[in-house]
Chains A and B, each alone.
Chain A
Amino acid sequence: MQNKLNQQPKAALLMKPEELSGAEIIMRCLLAEGVNMVFGYPGGAILPVYDVLFEYEQQLKHILVRHEQGAIHAAQGYARASGKTGVVFVTSGPGATNLITGLADALMDSTPVVCFSGQVGSTLLGTDAFQETDVISASSPLTKWNIQVSKTEDIADAITKAFYIARSGRQGPVLIDITKNAQLGKTLFQYQPIKKLTTYDPVPAINRLVIEEAAKVINAAERPYILCGQGVILSGASESLIAFAEKANIPIACTLQGLSAVPTQHPLYVGYLGMHGNYAPNVNTNECDVLIAIGMRFDDRVTGNLEKYAKQAKIIHIDIDDTEINKLVHVDVPVHADAKEALELLLPMVVPATHTKWLKSFQDLYKAEYEKIISKNEVTDSTSICMGQVIYLLNEVTKGDAIIVTDVGQHQMIASRYSNFKQPRSNITSGGMGTMGFALPAAMGAKLAAPGKQVVAIVGDAGVQMTMQELGTIAQNDIHVKVIVLNNNYLGMVRQLQQLFYKQRYSSVEMINPDFIKIAEAYGIAAQKVVKLGELKRALREMWKYKGAYFLEVVVEKEENVFPTMPAGAGVNELLLSF
């Protein structure tokens, strides 16, 4: 999927001006922007929009969620699975403030979302009117751009600008707050797509000299190493990256959000980076001589202690966002560019190489990790179930073809470590914000964006209860999403940290859970609980084949820890394989 303006407005809407209400202008603009699905929740201040939406239901499918947080996470899942912009409607006051977590999540993870919040009439602004809140100030640090519209004639311009900003450059969330009088008022409307904003330049002009310098450094490298972030997926650069890596035989590791940019079975793919990532890609970060970071932002979960991070390496950093370059790590060759464009320019300049010894060093380190950690997932005769075994058996069923949506915690790290991915955009997770409760609504959005694909949400018992009300949305809209709850009756990751670093003082981490199966069944969703490893494969197959939503609870070992782990203050080469 192209990063830039992949949803060009439809020419059919460039018709002669018509007098329309603000609410109807919103619908026309959405259609012109290529939107056909909206996630939302109505309320007083957005009633005029919902009234008009009633007439547009054929063209604009509205998914009524159970909570506004569910709406924005669903829109995020939709955007991440499709590459399109997710759209959300909410009302003023609590409707708008319930978006806040999702906005922050979308900003951190560069997800294009356009949210519309209703607002009280402009004469009531600042009067503490019913459900009035200053959502513009509240969302300001959590949006790429936001705007309040209080006049009908300003609506169309705000919307076209919002979509342009959300999906160009480094993508992100945008919020438009529209007062009720602006929704009700009438004005002449003619859709005018935006081609450029005078103060905003989303596509940096590439400096060829910098690319030549990067190629020179790469060609002289003995141990070059690619760190692939989500920027590769967002710019549609997976093929370019693979071609580039294959030409010079450069190993590729992915960040959490970069997962699925490169097929996990690709011979040059060496694993997943970060605190609970694979051993070899972390350790070898401090062994490479040239680090080529593409569309990633040196998050603290990837770098560990910055004082000990890749000090020996020359660093080339390709990123579309200039603020990320030299933010945390000193960069030797800064390439401010779209990943795909930069990689396409680099490809002909890079000379073929083998790097046999360097590539083998990853295999040697993998063996240590395999013996101590990974091999446990292959055990088939245990009674209890460990989380990795679930992912291993799930891989057998999905064959890497499913979209895997994960929540936050131990299950997320395990799923990220062991899931097989074949296609870009098949890994959806909350990375930067680490928002528990993300997976269930995001999976719902992903399934609606990709109805032809199987979407599997992998969630913990705690995270699922943060947005469990969305089972109602799944049931009402017959969304065929598969939900696997890995239940250890704990806030597993917090418990692990308390065990390892807080003298096993388990403070407020035990969960006394409800009967999940009864809850799923109360919504009319097929459900099954598995407690023994021997039953798991059959249950996963049943889930996979079931034509409809499915809820599978897997009771896993109560006190399993995710390894490797990186203690506070440790460097990437000080990852612990056990404790």
Chain B
Amino acid sequence: MNNDFTIEVELQSGPGILNRMINTCNRRLIKIKSISAFEKDDECSIASFVLHTSYANAIKVKKQFNKIIEVQTVSITEGVCACTIEEENY
């Protein structure tokens, strides 16, 4: 059964990384309902994905995101979650 999952990724800023993450979903035919991505500072960026897929697929995407060299942390929550980054960091 498919549900919404929010995957939040903390990564080192750099070109092409968002592309890698989108490719990860595309090649598995996993629907991306929304993406938001922004640079927190020179070093760190945040990307947040809402995926509509099965739990098993969401876990696989989490692992695949973790495998991307520049990715620092990946968290996953069931449902559509607001970005947890505190306001002062914007």
Contacts and interface: CB of A to CB of B under 8 A. Distances in A.
Interface residues of A, number: 17
Contact of B11 (A148, A199, A323): A199
Interface size class of B (residues with CB under 8 A): 10 to 19
Most buried by B among A137, A146, A197, A199: A199
A63 B53 CA distance: 48
Given A141-B23, A141-B27, A148-B15, A199 B60 contact: no
A198 B12 contact: yes
A146 B70 contact: no
B63 A146 contact: no
A287 to B, nearest CB: 28
Contacts of B23: 140-141
B69 interface: yes
Nearest to A136: B16
B25 to A, nearest CB: 12
A233 B90 CA distance: 48
B69 A165 contact: yes
A137 B16 contact: yes
A322 interface: yes
Contacts of A136: 15-16
A321 interface: yes
Interface of A is mostly: mixed
A198 B69 CA distance: 9
Interface in B5-25: 11-12, 15-16, 19-20, 23
Contacts of B15: 136, 148
A165 B66 CA distance: 15
A144 B19 contact: no
A360 interface: no
Nearest to B17: A140
B40 to A, nearest CB: 14
Given A144-B69, A148-B15, A199-B72, A323 B20 contact: no
A144 B63 CA distance: 14
A200 interface: yes
Nearest to A141: B23
A137 B19 contact: yes
Given A199-B72, A322-B66, 8 more contacts: A137-B16, A140-B20, A141-B27, A148-B15, A198-B72, A199-B11, A199-B12, A323-B67
Interface of A: 136-137, 140-141, 144-146, 148, 165, 197-200, 321-323, 327
30 contacts: A136-B15, A137-B16, A137-B19, A140-B16, A140-B20, A140-B23, A141-B20, A141-B23, A141-B27, A145-B69, A146-B16, A148-B15, A165-B69, A197-B69, A198-B12, A198-B72, A199-B11, A199-B12, A199-B69, A199-B70, A199-B71, A199-B72, A200-B69, A322-B63, A322-B67, A323-B60, A323-B63, A323-B66, A323-B67, A327-B60
